[in-house]
Structure 1
Amino acid sequence: MAPDRLLRYLQIKVHHLIQDHDWDSIHVVGSYDRQAVISAHEKTGKLFNFERPTADIQGRALIVKAFPGADYVHHYALIIATYLAMMGKAVDTVTYALPDPAVSREAVKRLTLDLDGDLVIVGWGLAHLAPPDGVWNHGHGYAWQRTEVHGRRVVYLGFLHSIWGDVAGRVVTRLAELGARDVVYVGKVGALNPDIEPNTRLATGNTSLVGGSVVTWPDFFGDFATAQPGVHTGVHVTSPSILLENRDWLTEHAEHAFVDPEIGPMGVAARDAGIDFGYLHVISNNLARHYPADLSNERHSDVVRRRTVLIRQIQDVIANRLAARPI
């Protein structure tokens, strides 16, 4: 990403207290605390994924509280450090402490749904995927809506906060514990093939490179999604932060297809829990070639229009897969 676009990406993520003031120290921890100072840069007008890490002022120190996932705490500390570096400020003021896995598990266990073999669709674009006249029921940091598609019970599940990286895997584990039979993740993914223009195609698959090892999982879609026009497939790469995806990283992974933080952990969790998992994502940006659309200008009207078309395609593919699959 070009420096000006990277800075724009960081500015919409970094807490306003960091952008507006200098601190002797900034410490990022895993804690979901909406009673702390909420960032003025949180998005408005969204149902889901609008909450950003909050902050506590302790004299000249700032404690930044991110949802307790190891990948998210690390990623947000990188966001802050990169922003400060680009602003010519000291980076060594930034430290972070990864949350204890038990804390991460307990945070995700706040998710309580009564599931019995349901398909759970989780992620992005749910306001367009779910029935427009449906009612969203709210829990602790999440909301859900039930419906039926071709005789199959379906639950749409969205989170107010980010379920970044390993947190997404824990969500799948939790959904399996609650009785889900299948989980589909709808989101956005980065392309590593330079020929794919952002916001024109969908991505799917059942294989990811996680921590240097190739993992596969039972795919909800089977071969169905890959047979649809405009759907690209290949080996996905799990990366905890876009800020680690530099030119050397790209060279190392050039033969792979996509990258994001969640798909790999979710697939592993589904495999281990004995349920099916599938992803069907909008290809939102391209790491291998510069295109006008990237992660810094996602609210542009042309980007929104193109993604609306792709969301409708995702909706159709899921419905047709359910129609073709035995209950």
Structure 2
Amino acid sequence: MSLLANTAPTACPGSASRTSPIAVDRHTMAPDRLLCYLQIKVHHLIQGHDWDTIHVVGGYDRRAVISAHEKTGKLFNFERPTAEAHGRHLIVKAFPGADYVHHYALIIATYLSMTGKPADTVTYELPDPTLSREAVAKLDLELDGDLVIVGWGLAHLAPADGAWTYGHGYAWQRAQIHGRRVVYLGFLHSIWGDVAGRVVTRLADLGAGDVVYVGKVGALNPDIEPNTRLATGNTSLVGGSLVAWPDFFGDFATAQPGVHTGIHVTSPSILLENRDWLTEHAEHAFVDPEIGPMGVAARDAGIDFGYLHVISNNLARHYPADLSNERHSDVVRRRTVLIRQIQDIVANRLAARPI
């Protein structure tokens, strides 16, 4: 049986499930790097206070207490789960996706365990799928066969003189590239895992012709140094089964220098990517939570989907750059170069495709 299939959230929507911390000594990240990663994710009310219970639920609520650890100086993906105190009980509100709620509960429980605090206080409750659909349905754009570029690095990809129009937790702007209408779409919050698939479904319903996702993946090949290469492909292992989708890039992206391709693995949480997980998936190429659900959603909707990602970390070998130090100036510089390459590949692909 696939380990990936066993790592999906086990709670039922509407019921609480207790979260256990991971075995830190078995994780693919070194303990000190893992703790750094957790510290920049965990809400300050958890890091600075002790609670009798911490309950993670699905709910996009910016009226609750905003984390002091949210990133600054970013246009997108800077919002983190918010929190609401009730006496000695804390409710943590994550954007309503099953994978994200489970992932954030694992983050909290593992952080508490690593800092010598009781982790058995942490529970989570998966959002009802209707709540998830309603949250994503707040995305409202007029599309007519447009290419939608969604994800990370949009501040560099979109025209510098373009104006962003803001909606409920997202912003967008339009451009023309080689006669093709393009919409750049960024989210202020994370579209983790299954939420990303729902976003593609929503975009198809709104009239998108193609969707390209720009983001970051982890490499499973020990020879790939982070922040030096790009990743692409059209196949992912989702829940133990291989799925493929019609690829926006075709063979175009893989023919470019410094672009790797291979079978991607969909993992609902970085915390679950331990050494046993790596052993099972060592013959695959990349891992992240979103690509698989997005590809499946695009296939089911009858539109093309493509991903072109920076390889941001390596699970099979420890390199100086990983997920714990993404804000380091050298990392930012290297990624800026790769984003420019992504920009060129997308533009050249549009030039080669018939309108």
TM range (shorter): over 0.9
Structure 1 residue ranges (4+ consecutive) displaced by more than 6 angstroms after TM superposition: none
Q: Distance in 2 between matches of 1:56 and 1:213?
A: 39
Structure-2 separation of matches of 1:303 and 1:44: 17
Aligned pairs for 1:1-327 within 5 A = 1-327=29-355
Distance between the aligned counterparts of 1:301 and 1:2, measured in 2? 22
Give SS of 2:104's match: helix
Q: Deviations over 1:53-85 (max 9, x none)?
A: 000101110000000000000000000000001
How many aligned positions are there?
Answer: 327
Give the CA RMSD over aligned residues.
Answer: 0.3
- Deviation for aligned residue 1:88: 1.1
Measured in 2, the distance between the counterparts of 1:191 and 1:174 equals 29
Matched residue type, 1:313: Q
2:324 partner SS: coil
Measured in 1, the distance between the counterparts of 2:48 and 2:321 equals 28
CA distance in 2, matches of 1:80, 1:66: 12
CA distance in 2 between partners of 1:135 and 1:65 (Å): 30
Q: Distance in 2 between matches of 1:231 and 1:41?
A: 33
How far apart are residue 2 of structure 1 and its match?
1.0
Which deviations, in whole Å up to 9, do the C-alpha atoms of 1:216-271 show, x marking residues without a partner? 00000000000000000000000000100000000000000000000000000000
Aligned mates of 2:238, 2:174 — CA distance in 1 = 32
% identity of equivalent residues: 90
Instruction: Output the CA distance in 2 between the equivalents of 1:185 and 1:82.
Output: 30
Aligned-partner SS, 1:145:
strand
TM-score by length of 2: 0.92
Rounded Cα–Cα distance in structure 2 between residues aligned with 1:51 and 1:286? 25
> How far off its partner does 1:8 sit?
0.6
Q: What is the identity, as a one-letter code, of the residue corresponding to 1:272?
A: D
Q: For the residues of structure 2 that align with 1:37 and 1:305, how far apart are their CA atoms?
A: 33
5+ residue gaps in structure 1? none
How far residue 281 of structure 1 moved from its aligned partner, in angstroms, is 0.1
Post-superposition Cα deviations, 1:116-172, rounded to whole Å, max 9, x if no partner, equal 000000000000000000000000000001000000000000000000000000000
CA distance in 1, matches of 2:230, 2:76: 21
Q: Structure 1 CA distance, aligned partners of 2:86 and 2:96?
A: 20
Amino acid at match of 2:51: W
